[in-house]
Amino acid sequence: MLTVKCSLLEHNVLMLMCDFHIHSTYSDGKHSIPEIVDFYGARGFDCIAITDHLCETKSFLGRGAHFLDRTLTPESFPRYFEEIKLEAERAWRLYKMLVIPGVEVTKNYISNQRSSHFIGIGINEAFGADGSIEDILKQIRNQGALTIAAHPVSNRTFDKQTLHLWDRREELMHLFDAWEVGSGVHFYPEVANSRLPMIASTDLHRFEQIKGWKTRMNTHLHPEAILSAIRKQKIEFHYYGEPHGTLPLPLAAPLFSA
């Protein structure tokens, strides 16, 4: 688990604005981790998670991601962890913002029904994406990290869909701490009405995508407290916008709470 020196605030309960699904240049994001830290820090966010793609090596699309350098690899993982650690220290020093290490396990196939993405937040050890979904989720849990089903239902666009986890939700629900009910500008009524534990994040690949659903919570500004609030579903979901691409504009009241 990430350790951050936050003695000034860790005993105070605050309303925190968080984004737990962000990609950097370590996979298919446009911006470096330092750029991401400054972007979110300048907007007053309290906690973010860097969650770059970790793609399979055996599937056709997975091999393509490795060929195009759009995924974490055994070689890049140590640099990834080290840079997140250094940037977490800088983020706290400059912005009093937490930065948590994560990963998005990416299993892409031609069929939408076979494709699945899921996130581990708070990881501290590298692992591979070639195992079964169940085994990888257990590996993430064994690190004390959070497991999240990413954009599990259709967003009604022509983008690649990842429907496998939703089709197997009854079978896999005990292995997930939360399911994305909001992903960027997309809101999923199926998830909201499912009674499954939920979370909302940006799935940000470039800064223009900052508008959309975010998670807020009243808790201590400390990594363990934040992950615990998600597990216990003591959270709210807000739609965040930036008029004219400048000032942040979170809604004054939650649209709904978990």
Lowest mean pLDDT of 21-25, 105-109, 203-207, 249-253, name the range.
249-253
Please check whether residue 68 lies inside any domain of the structure: yes
243 band by pLDDT with thresholds 50, 70 and 90: low
CATH code, 43: 3.20.20.140
C-beta of residue 103 within 8 angstroms of C-beta of residue 129: no
Which range of residues forms the domain containing residue 70?
13-257
Say whether pLDDT at 85 is over 50.
yes
Exposure class string for 166-199: b at 16+ Cβ within 10 A, else e: bebbeebeebbbbbbbbbbebbbeebbebebbbb
The terminus-to-terminus CA distance of the chain in angstroms comes to: 25
Token pair for 50: 């860097």
* Interval 126-145 mean pLDDT: 98
Whether residue 7 is contained in a domain is answered as: no
Has residue 4 been placed in a domain? no
pLDDT tens-place string over residues 1-34: 333 333 334 445 679 999 999 999 999 999 999 9
If you search the block for the tokens 């997975």, which residue do you land on? 62
Residue 70 lies in a domain: yes
* pLDDT value, residue 258: 72
In a domain, 2, yes or no: no
Q: Give the separation between CA 249 and CA 193, rounded to whole angstroms.
A: 27
Residues in the chain: 258
Cα–Cα distances (Å) from 67 to 9, 62, 63, 70, in that order, read 44, 9, 6, 8
- The two structure tokens encoding residue 164: 């496998």
Q: pLDDT at residue 75 above 70?
A: yes
Q: What pTM was estimated for this model as a whole?
A: 0.91
Tell me, yes or no, whether 87 lies in a domain: yes
**What is the band of 157 on the pLDDT scale with cuts at 50, 70, 90?**
confident
Distance of CA 201 to the CA centre of its chain: 6
Please give the tally of structural domains in the chain.
1
Across the chain, which distance is largest between two alpha carbons, in Å? 50
Q: Which residue has the tokens 């400054």?
A: 38
- Quick check: is 5 in a domain? no
